[in-house]
Amino acid sequence: MATKTFKIGEYALGGHVKIDVKPTLVGVKFICMFTGKIEAELEIKPLEPLAERKLSDFLCNNSTSYYEGKMMDWIKLKIKF
């Protein structure tokens, strides 16, 4: 299991993105940097059809394409789709 928090600031919904990668599950939470409240959340199984695309779209819709690329690169280092 691997966990990383990206502190992006104004370029992401809430400012912080916490990603948990397990062998059978990837969890993404967009967290408000001021209150700690979860703004958006997604859990996806890497083996389900189009999992990589759904995760990429979720990250891009709640942040920017630049940071989506950075987060997807880190996720792909930890797990295979």
pLDDT at 81: 86
| Contact call for residues 64 and 11 (beta carbons, < 8 A) | yes
Q: What is the pLDDT along the chain (81 residues), one digit of tens a residue?
A: 899 999 999 999 999 999 999 999 999 999 999 999 999 999 999 999 999 999 999 999 999 999 999 999 999 999 998
Cα–Cα dist 70/11, whole Å: 13
- Domain limits, the chain: 2-78
DSSP track, 15-81? EEEEEEEETTEEEEEEEETTT--EEEEEEE-TTSTTHHHHHHHHHHHHS-HHHHHHHHHHHHHH---
